[in-house]
Structure 1
Amino acid sequence: MMTAAAGCGGGSGGGSGDAKVKIGLLASLSGTYKAVGTDMRAGFELYLDTHGDKLGGREVDLSVADEGDGPPTAVPAATKLIKKDRVDVLTGIVGGGSYNAVLPMTKQRQIPLVGSNGRPEVKDVSNVWHTSYLSDEPGEAIAEYVKKKADGPVYAIGPDYQGGHDELRGFTTAFKKAGGELANPDGKTRWTPFPKTTNFTPYFSDIKKSGAKAVYCFYAGKAAIDFVKQYAQSDVADLPLYSAGFLTEGSTLDAQGKAAKDIYSVLNYAADLDNGPNRKFAADWTAKHGTPPTTYAMASYDAAAVLDKAVAAAGKDGGDVTSKTINEAIGKLGQIESPRGVWEFGDRTHAPVQKWYLRQVRPDGKKLANVMVQDLATLGD
């Protein structure tokens, strides 16, 4: 797989116009969300591996940089990709805070930003595209289901940073709109300091005192492992636990083990979805990594697929492949065949109009897996 650093030559912003297309991938390869960022990188690389190491018929210079845990590391990493490596497109980005911090650079240089994890709301999306989801959508998609299933008030809890705020706002707003009641004091989400919270025991005591009949949370990476293991051993272990799917996604589920059994989650992807693109993607991923694919890998794989189509369209009939022409081509792609099912970019948000699925952690052979239970909603624009 070609992962050479971007070579010399013309820069991004105006595009290089040479035979290669220069892609910068920014993801958390260290810190709390290392597992997420690692899967994002691997998903993009898998697409290249299975498509001749080319996008739109052109060879790829892929530069990868470590986002870390947020803006202090994400900004210098993105600066290198944009100003030194002079990439034509930037993709990836795990955290909402990182996204907001990097966005001004891509705007200034007019580089397409094809994000492939949760994204906060963005006012000007002229050069912004997204292949995963808006950060408030997972909670919005499952809120009505939780209202119907929970026998009373629900306790909402999540990490105190941009992504956590967006994720929990999506749930609490839709939950209250559906007639649900939060068990939290004053009806406000309980925030846990990020990234330093590793002991959740005091919060479980608060949940017990609240009289909650169920819990909804958003955690990912190492925090998800700590939360689930401690939840299973706490005084509230008998309360149903609902979450955004990242709580039990990928290697976190392996680390959680039996503690994760029966957790219900919502996500735009499940590894057992029965469609042609997913059968190929899941088989290719499993053959290379020995594990089921994750939504992080899928969305980054789709980012590469989007760029494959856009670069081909931009370079059709000898046209120049530049940041500008790639961006214009993305806007004309229409429906996209994907392992998650067919989706398309929304006109207003440039984020996917897509289905959301309810999953449950159940035995799948000898291992636990996130098994698709039912469709929940189609959201977008």
Structure 2
Amino acid sequence: MRKLLSALLIVAIVAPLAGCGSAGSSNKVRIGLITPLTGDVKTYGESVKQGAELAIDQWNKNGGVLGKQIELSLADDKNDPAEASAAATKLITQDKIKLLLGGVTSKCAIPVSEIAEKNQVLDISPTATSPKLTVDPWPGGTRKEYVFRACFIDDFQASAMSQFALSNNMKKAAVVYDNGNDYCVGLAQSFRKYYTQGGGTINVYEAYSQSDTDFSAILTKVIADNPDMLYIPDYYGTVNLIAKQARAMGFKGTFAGADGWDSPDLDVQTVEGSYFTNHYSPDDPRPEVQNFVKAYKDKYGTVPDALGMLAYEGTNLLLNAVKTAGSDDPTKVKDALQATKGFTTVSGDITFNADGNPIKGIAILKISGGKQELVTSVKPTSE
């Protein structure tokens, strides 16, 4: 009898402890966010962090997902691919995170996607536009089944800008780009393809390296050619340097670029009158846009840029897939994400194509009076 009582006592003590341990490891849905909180594009990182946190706060205030609260683990990749890889490895192997958001820039997001795919961890990049994020090599390569994005791809935004330029009588363009960055290379190549196919002329197509700060040699070629437009598909810091040097050297044409321009640190005075492709406009009157802008401004005191919007959108896409799957198991979540059709977000109703890319539209913005002005919207392709 004493042995039986002792055994029962042990069971009575151990069972609750085991139950507490199980609840402690499963009472939250955990998401890892890899973003550049320091480094040369830290404004991107802050916007992405804020957009993701806003979405999670809203979900948590409404009961979370699967009856659990959502917990965000942050990792700073400094916009360095090696740092991004280390962050992904730590989050996956040490912290046991199974759901990832990030990276932010394509050069960091691509190595993160490779690590996530290898470990069968769900990864959705809010903002990386290189097609190689989900399919490598692109086109015609292997689809990374566990990898998605919340933004359009570079091929689409380059096509949209080329069509806009040609329709606005900018018939000759020059292109300068960073040859060590997949984002810049992909945009430059796609823009040249679509622009020349549409009847435009490109005589100057010049590369530089990320460490360059003096662009006078290639800008001399640009100015000698006298193009209507100089296409600079890079991040805002480099755009500022190139545009300022070009104006100082006498360039009178129009600057144009891509979503990497979207930052409060863009030198709007120098690029006044320029155009760039982007993911949305905060001036869009649709209720989904205005409700998001208000919530973001109420929380952070500023108008959200496209990076903040995409992080908010990507987080909502991810959590909706968790809810739909009824599980935070990465395999079930990726199947739910792939099956997403007509999910209403800030930028429109989202459906994923076979490559894990959302079918969505694009905004073309003009820098006018030091502010972004919506010029036109381009409807999404059906692919």
- Whether the TM-score (by the shorter chain) exceeds 0.5 is yes
Q: Is residue 263 of structure 2 the alignment partner of residue 250 of structure 1?
A: yes
Match of 1:298 in 2: 309
Return the offset for 1:217. 1.4
Q: Is residue 254 of structure 2 the alignment partner of residue 240 of structure 1?
A: yes
The Cα offsets for residues 116-153 of structure 1, whole Å up to 9 and x where unpaired, read as 11233312132111101223321111111212324442
Return the offset for 1:111. 0.9
- The alpha-carbon distance between structure 1 residues 156 and 377, as it changes in their structure 2 partners (threshold 3 A), is farther
Distance in 2 of aligned mates of 1:380 and 1:86: 37
Q: Is residue 362 of structure 2 the alignment partner of residue 352 of structure 1?
A: no
Structure 1 residue identity aligned to 2:238: A
Q: Contact 1:46/1:285 (CA < 8 Å) preserved in 2?
A: yes
Match of 2:213 in 1: 198
Return the offset for 1:276. 0.9
Return the offset for 1:352. 1.2
- The alpha-carbon distance between structure 1 residues 56 and 369, as it changes in their structure 2 partners (threshold 3 A), is farther
3-state SS of the aligned residue for 1:51?
A: helix
Match of 1:4 in 2: none
Q: Contact 1:224/1:252 (CA < 8 Å) preserved in 2?
A: no
Match of 2:10 in 1: none
Q: Is residue 378 of structure 2 the alignment partner of residue 362 of structure 1?
A: no
The structure whose Rg is larger is 2
Return the offset for 1:193. 0.6
Q: Contact 1:355/1:375 (CA < 8 Å) preserved in 2?
A: yes
Q: Contact 1:208/1:235 (CA < 8 Å) preserved in 2?
A: yes
The Cα offsets for residues 52-93 of structure 1, whole Å up to 9 and x where unpaired, read as 363454212211111223322111111111111111211121
- The alpha-carbon distance between structure 1 residues 224 and 151, as it changes in their structure 2 partners (threshold 3 A), is closer
Q: Contact 1:141/1:379 (CA < 8 Å) preserved in 2?
A: no
Match of 1:145 in 2: 164
Once superposed, which parts of structure 1, at least 4 consecutive aligned residues long, lie more than 4 Å away? none
3-state SS of the aligned residue for 2:167?
A: helix
Match of 1:70 in 2: 80
Alignment of 1:210-359 (within 5 A): 210-236=225-251, 238-247=252-261, 249-253=262-266, 256-315=267-326, 320-346=327-353, 348-359=354-365
| Unaligned ranges ≥5, structure 1 | 1-7, 11-15
Alignment of 1:75-86 (within 5 A): 75-86=85-96
The Cα offsets for residues 308-331 of structure 1, whole Å up to 9 and x where unpaired, read as 21121222xxxx431222222212
Q: Is residue 189 of structure 2 the alignment partner of residue 181 of structure 1?
A: no
3-state SS of the aligned residue for 1:155?
A: strand
TM-score of the pair, normalised by structure 1: 0.86
Distance in 2 of aligned mates of 1:371 and 1:268: 13
Match of 1:5 in 2: none
Return the offset for 1:211. 2.9
- The alpha-carbon distance between structure 1 residues 179 and 9, as it changes in their structure 2 partners (threshold 3 A), is farther
RMSD: 2.2
**What's the % identity of the aligned pairs?**
20
Distance in 2 of aligned mates of 1:379 and 1:302: 20
Q: Is residue 376 of structure 2 the alignment partner of residue 374 of structure 1?
A: yes
Distance in 1 of aligned mates of 2:171 and 2:160: 19
Distance in 1 of aligned mates of 2:278 and 2:309: 12
Q: Which has the higher contact order (CA 8 A, sep 6+)?
A: 1
| Number of residue equivalences | 351
Match of 2:224 in 1: 209
Distance in 1 of aligned mates of 2:126 and 2:382: 16
3-state SS of the aligned residue for 1:114?
A: strand
Distance in 2 of aligned mates of 1:62 and 1:166: 31
- The alpha-carbon distance between structure 1 residues 359 and 151, as it changes in their structure 2 partners (threshold 3 A), is closer
The Cα offsets for residues 194-226 of structure 1, whole Å up to 9 and x where unpaired, read as 1x1233333322211123222111121422332
The Cα offsets for residues 149-187 of structure 1, whole Å up to 9 and x where unpaired, read as 244421011222211111112211111111211021xxx
Higher share of residues assigned helix:
2
Q: Contact 2:103/2:112 (CA < 8 Å) preserved in 1?
A: no
Q: Contact 1:272/1:372 (CA < 8 Å) preserved in 2?
A: yes
Alignment of 1:38-77 (within 5 A): 38-52=46-60, 54-77=64-87
The Cα offsets for residues 331-358 of structure 1, whole Å up to 9 and x where unpaired, read as 2321121222223211x21111111122
3-state SS of the aligned residue for 1:73?
A: helix
Distance in 2 of aligned mates of 1:215 and 1:243: 8
TM-score of the pair, normalised by structure 2: 0.85
- The alpha-carbon distance between structure 1 residues 144 and 9, as it changes in their structure 2 partners (threshold 3 A), is farther
- The alpha-carbon distance between structure 1 residues 303 and 372, as it changes in their structure 2 partners (threshold 3 A), is same
Structure 1 residue identity aligned to 2:84: A
Distance in 2 of aligned mates of 1:92 and 1:295: 15
Structure 2 residue identity aligned to 1:208: I
Distance in 1 of aligned mates of 2:66 and 2:173: 48
| Unaligned ranges ≥5, structure 2 | 1-19, 136-141
Structure 2 residue identity aligned to 1:379: T
